């Protein structure tokens, strides 16, 4: 979620996803994986001229690789596509995660979709 004040108005942007996937262990420290995702996005603006809201949803798919550099830190890279309202866009993602426990981690990721980059934070529980 993000918002900003632009031209005497307020703009809010919300985006989210729910993903399911499967991983395959290549080596003791490296996995490859695939995911399918439901995605949504909503933008709303309010100002002196009135209010405007638009939202959409869609789906996506990714394939990626994740490797443990140490017992606590892993790096991840993936590529895929996102489809909203009949239009598809390419996705590329890089991430670094810190593992408090084998199945609980926090991390940062950088995602590029259609020449728009976003930086995100995550909390992950793996089972």
Q: What is the CA radius of gyration of the chain?
A: 17
Whole-number pLDDT of residue 30: 96
**Paired tokens of 17:** 């996803």
| Whole-structure pTM value | 0.69
Give me the residue spans of the domains in the chain. Answer: 2-125
Helix and strand numbers, DSSP H then E, in the chain: 0, 8
Burial 16-43 (b: 16+ CB within 10 A, else e): eeeeeeeeeeeeeeebebebebebebee
For residues 50 and 18, give the distance between their C-alpha atoms in angstroms, rounded to a whole number.
32
Averaged pLDDT of the chain: 88
Choice between 52 and 30, residue whose per-residue pLDDT is larger: 30
Residue 50 has pLDDT above 80, yes or no: no
pLDDT at residue number 6: 67
């Amino acid at each position: 979620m993000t918002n900003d004040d632009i031209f005497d108005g307020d703009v809010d942007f919300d985006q989210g996803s729910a993903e399911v996937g499967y991983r395959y262990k290549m080596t003791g420290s490296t996995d490859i994986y695939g995911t399918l995702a439901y995605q949504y996005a909503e933008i709303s603006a309010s100002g002196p001229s009135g209010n405007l809201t638009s939202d959409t949803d869609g789906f996506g798919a990714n394939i990626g690789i994740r490797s443990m550099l140490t017992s606590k830190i892993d790096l991840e890279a993936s590529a895929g596509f996102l489809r909203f309202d009949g239009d598809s866009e390419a996705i590329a993602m890089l991430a670094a995660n810190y593992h408090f426990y084998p199945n609980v981690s926090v991390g940062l990721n950088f995602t590029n979709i259609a020449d728009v980059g976003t930086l995100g934070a995550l909390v992950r529980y793996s089972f």
